[in-house]
Structures are given as structure tokens and as C-alpha cells.
Structure 1
Amino acid sequence: MLSNLEGAGLPNIPRPPPSKEKQKENQGTTDNAAQCSVTSIYHAHIADSSRKVTATWCKSLVNHSFTINVENPSDDQCPCTCKIDLKAWQFWGRKGLKSLEVDGQRVDVYWDFRQAKFSGSPEPCSDYYVAIVSEEEVALVVGDMKTDAFKRTKKRPSLVDAILLCKKEHICGKKLFCSKAKLNEGKHENDIMIENSLSGPDDPEMWVSIDGTAVIRIMNLHWRFRGNEIVTVNNTPVQIFWDVHDWLYNTSGSSHGLFIFTPGVPDSAAHCDSDGCNTYDSPRDSQSVPRFCYVLYAWKTE
């Protein structure tokens, strides 16, 4: 429960971030047995209703795919799904269109990955778009080529802006885990780096860095394997929760640590549900704008 987060941001801890060479050495790759994935959950106005839209990028040794699901409350057993195989595609498949039926209404999904650029993550870092069109409006655009998406669909933007509720990511690595998430009001995503030292003569330790600055140092993880603190990122308070119990005590092989980053002042009424998205205790609170939450599963591999 994130509403119990306490503490204050630490001063800049005198530990320099690892070099690029060390990052490359320690950072897990998508060739690990565990599957790396990135999932973004949105609220968008589709087919006369506000619906949850889930966009998931998955990559393993044998698979690389993108799946988008549109919530369909009238038939929970049959979600409206569009899946694209990103590994086996031919050039003609990199740009496409698929129509779905959501509560009896047509919903079109447009995509263009012809120039998409990747940088270690299953999710492209630039030069692509996925657009959802409903009722002659573009309800949601995923990716950085929004202008191209509007030109191709020839539809106007929705009067109701889509809201990013949550981003969840599974990363594989040994001692270092690197990711990106937007933790403040800036235009760009923030660089997140988690480093651990679990073996050796000293007590196990862990560091969390944001944009190259170490904001949290956890010493003696045997006693502090679970906890939370509040730090400041570009004048924005960010709540950070961690649980790395399995890193220390899981002997089954691959194990993961859980990290949750929530920008904003702590809200006593807010909780995280099973999707990692914030919910609220009272009806009045439920009418407010949901707070964004970034959830990172750091899978430690040998």
C-alpha cells in the first residue's frame, strides 16, 4: 500500500553511476530465458465509454510481439485484441490496419513500424505509432509519430484525452537494471538505474539512481529488503517502494525484485491494485484524475 510511504529524499550520495561499459556488462539482455516485457495501461474514450486499453511489448529469444487489448465489459471472456508479430514480419507487415468490434461498434487500429528504432527494450524508442480510431475520432496514439498518425487516419483527435495510468516493465539482469519512465512534468522520460551488490565480504547493498544521480542507498539489505522513501526529481516528489526479498532468499534460480515509482505528494486515500494502477477509497476521490504509477520487476539472472 503506497499510502503508508514515509521518509525524506536523501542528499546526493557520493557514489558515481556505473560507466557505460559496466552497464553493458551487467545489464541483462532479451536473450535471457525470462521474457522481457513492457506494458502500458491507458484510459481512453472508445465506443461511447471510458475503457481500459492495455499495450504490451514482449521479447524473448524466440518471440517479439506487440499486443493491444481494449476492455470489453460486455464479454470479459473475449477481450478485443490486436496482436502483431514483430520478429517474423515482412516489410509489408510493418504498416497495417486491423478492425475490432467493441460492444457492437467498429474500432480501427492503425500501426506503422517501418522505421521503428529499438534500444535494448522490447518497446521501440522512436519513429513509430499505433493509433486507435473510434467514432470518427483518434482515441489514443502510442508512439512519437502522432502527426503521421493523424494524417493517415484522417480523423480528428478525441475530445477526451487518453490518460496513461500505469507502466509495468520486466527487465532481466545480474547487478544492474536500467529503464526509463516519466516521473515529472518534463517532456522526456527519466533514466532509472538500479544497482546491487549482494555478494562479497560486505553487507548486501543497493542503489537507486535517477538521471545519473543516486537518490537512495540501502545498506544491509538483510534488514531493509522491503521499504519505501520519498525523493525529489526536478522539484517533483516521487514515492519509491522496493521489495527485494527474493533476491536474497530465493534459491530456485531466477528471482525478481519489485520497485514502484509514483510521482506526486502521497495521498492517504490511494492504493495500488493488482495492475499497479492507483485506486481510491471514497466515491469523491474516484472522480479525480488517477495518479500515474511505474512498476518495475527486476529479474536477477546468473
Structure 2
Amino acid sequence: MKDFPSCFGENGVQVADASCTTAAAVATTTTMSNGSISIAKASQNVVTCVYQCKLLGKSRLIIINWTKNLVGHCFSIEIQDLSHKCLNKIDIKPSIFTKRKGTKSVIVDFVTIDVYWDLSIAKFGSGPEPIEGYYLGLGYKGEMILLIGDLRKELLKKTKYLSNSLRISKREHVFGKKWYATRAQFKDNGPVHDLRIECDTFGLDDPQLVVRMDSKIVMQVKHLVWKFRGNYTIFIDGLHVEVFWDVYNWLFGPTTGNAVFMFQTGSGAEKSGSLPDRSISSLRGSQSSNFCLTLYAWKNE
């Protein structure tokens, strides 16, 4: 790979615009003045989803950060204002001590946005993002500017809103020793797939990388020592999905370093072999319908 975008560090991964991800712990590596490397390991309990929506006739970014702590699952919502510089943040912390269903209002650009959520019967996997049994919606003047969850029809019946939103990206931290698993949806209202990355680098002279979708191998990289960065196109749900990987840290970096995997749909994926810039700042004003899933893979020691 020749040139990496500014949001990807040489020894790790950074998000270029930290102000847009205040609720999410981001993987970073910093070289100290004495030459040593200080690594801030990302939280396992954060999933960040970015959506492109329309509000007051303008395209906005809405960022949902799902988190998990000792008292339960929480989420925060960040709504981009008209200046495209500031994000209005809403923190919702339903737990065993408070309601897991409710409504809340927030002022954005001098108008009131209503937030609706129901996690009362939500089911969760190993991560903080609900798998099923929930809805989360943002409404304004009879229109649901953002609506997610498998129970969204229930909310539409109650509010009689119409929905109009577009997924842009999702970032997630996954942990493991030899394999790393998550769930991935590449098409709006399409099937949810079990995505699994397999890579054993411990003590092997010639490790290989395998990507499975619903247990089926969709990508395999041999001689990984020489191909520690690259890209490959797979075909999922009628879509071309460009897969980018960077496992340099697993092979040559610090023992606590992470690898990066990016799955990008549509024709916007670059062919140069470098990871495209999918930082929050680069997404501002983007009108692309492409979806990008980024996984930060950390090895458990």
C-alpha cells in the first residue's frame, strides 16, 4: 500500500475528528519523545453507527454510539447542525433502575426533535448494540428522520410518521485470539449476516487470513507476511463489497496493537490497495449511498 489517508496512523488507527466521537473510545497509538510507543486500547463496549438524514431540507449526519457498562446498555445520539461543524448530543441511559422505554426532546437549529426508544424487550449479543426487539427513532413535523430496529413498524403505527434515512457507516471493536465475530448488514432492510474473521499469527511462519460470511469462506489470503495490507472484492446480497485489511500490527507491531478491516459497498471503493478515508470529517456533506463497516480487531492475550 502506498499512501494512507490522514485518519490512519502508521502504527495503528485514529479517527481524524475526535470531537465527533466523544462517546466512543477510539484506538490510537502515540510515539513518545523517548521513542517508546504509548497505546490507548479501545473499549470493547462501544459500537458507532453513522446515518445520513434530511432535516429542514438539508442533509445531516446522525451518529449513534451504543455502549455497555455495569448497570446496563446505553446510547448517545449526536445530530449535526446546519453549520456542519457542531454536533448536538443526547445521552440516554436506560438501565435496571430506569425506564428502558421513553421519549425525549432536543433543540437543533431552533427546532424541536423528538427521540423515541424502546429497549424493554431488546436482545443483545456480546456487544452493546441490540440485535432485535427494539426501536430507536427521531421525529420532526410528521417525519421520522431516523428510524432503526426491528420493531420500527410499531413506532410508525403509534406516531404515523414516515421514515427517510440512509446508513453511512458503522465502526466496531472486536476482540479475540484466533477469530473475531460480529453481525453485518450491507443493504438497508437486507439480511443480517454472521461475519467472522479468522487469523492465527502466533508462532506461525506463514499465517493466513480467512473471512467467512454465514460460515462460508468469502475471502482467503495466504502468505500474509507479504500481504499484510491489501484489498479484495466479494459479492454479498447483490452488492460488490470491497474488503480492505491492514494486519501490520498483528505481525510486526506492538503486542497490544490492533488490525483494521473495512467492508465498503458500492462503486466508491478505491482500487489502489489503500484504506479509503472514512473518518467522520470526510463523511460530512457526503451524498454517497455506499455503506462502510470498519472493524478494529484486538488480540486478547
One fold, TM greater than 0.5? yes
Give the direction of change, closer, same or farther, for the CA distance of 1:260–1:33 in structure 2 (3 Å limit): closer
> Do the aligned partners of 2:242 and 2:269 also contact (CA within 8 Å) in 1?
no
Q: Which runs of 4+ in 1 moved over 6 A?
A: 276-280
* Partner of residue 198, structure 2: 195
Whichever structure has more helix as a proportion of its residues is: 1
Whole-Å Cα distance in 2 between the matches of residues 199 and 261 of structure 1? 25
Offset, 1:279 = 8.4
Offset, 1:184 = 4.9
Q: For residues 105-254 of structure 1, what are the structure 2 equivalents within 5 Å?
A: 105-152=111-158, 154-158=159-163, 161-184=164-187, 187-251=190-254, 253-254=255-256
Greater CA deviation, 43-52 or 55-64? 55-64
* Partner of residue 13, structure 1: none
> Do the aligned partners of 1:34 and 1:60 also contact (CA within 8 Å) in 2?
no
Whole-Å Cα distance in 1 between the matches of residues 80 and 178 of structure 2? 37
Question: 106, 123, 135: which is aligned to 1:100?
Answer: 106
Give the direction of change, closer, same or farther, for the CA distance of 1:262–1:76 in structure 2 (3 Å limit): closer
* Percent of pairs with identical residues: 34
TM-score normalised by length of structure 2: 0.76
Give the direction of change, closer, same or farther, for the CA distance of 1:254–1:36 in structure 2 (3 Å limit): farther
Alignment coverage as a number of residue pairs: 260
Offset, 1:278 = 6.3
C-alpha RMSD of the superposition: 3.0
Whole-Å Cα distance in 1 between the matches of residues 113 and 132 of structure 2? 25
Give the direction of change, closer, same or farther, for the CA distance of 1:36–1:172 in structure 2 (3 Å limit): farther
Give the direction of change, closer, same or farther, for the CA distance of 1:211–1:301 in structure 2 (3 Å limit): same
Q: Secondary structure at the match of 1:147?
A: helix
1:157 counterpart letter in structure 2: L
Q: Deviations over 1:206-230 (max 9, x none)?
A: 2111121112222232211111111
1:130 counterpart letter in structure 2: L
Q: Deviations over 1:138-192 (max 9, x none)?
A: 211121111211233x24214xx21101111111221111112123577311221
Whole-Å Cα distance in 2 between the matches of residues 279 and 66 of structure 1? 22
2:266 counterpart letter in structure 1: G
Q: Secondary structure at the match of 1:93?
A: coil
Question: 88, 94, 98: which is aligned to 1:80?
Answer: 88
Question: Which runs of 5 or more structure 1 residues have no equivalent in the other structure?
Answer: 5-31, 281-285
Q: Deviations over 1:77-131 (max 9, x none)?
A: 5x32221224x442x5111111100000001101111101111121111111111
Whole-Å Cα distance in 1 between the matches of residues 268 and 60 of structure 2? 26
* Partner of residue 23, structure 2: none
Matched, 1:301 2:293: no
2:212 counterpart letter in structure 1: S
Whole-Å Cα distance in 2 between the matches of residues 247 and 269 of structure 1? 24
TM-score normalised by length of structure 1: 0.76
Matched, 1:262 2:267: no
Question: Which runs of 5 or more structure 2 residues have no equivalent in the other structure?
Answer: 5-40
Question: 36, 43, 65: which is aligned to 2:45?
Answer: 36
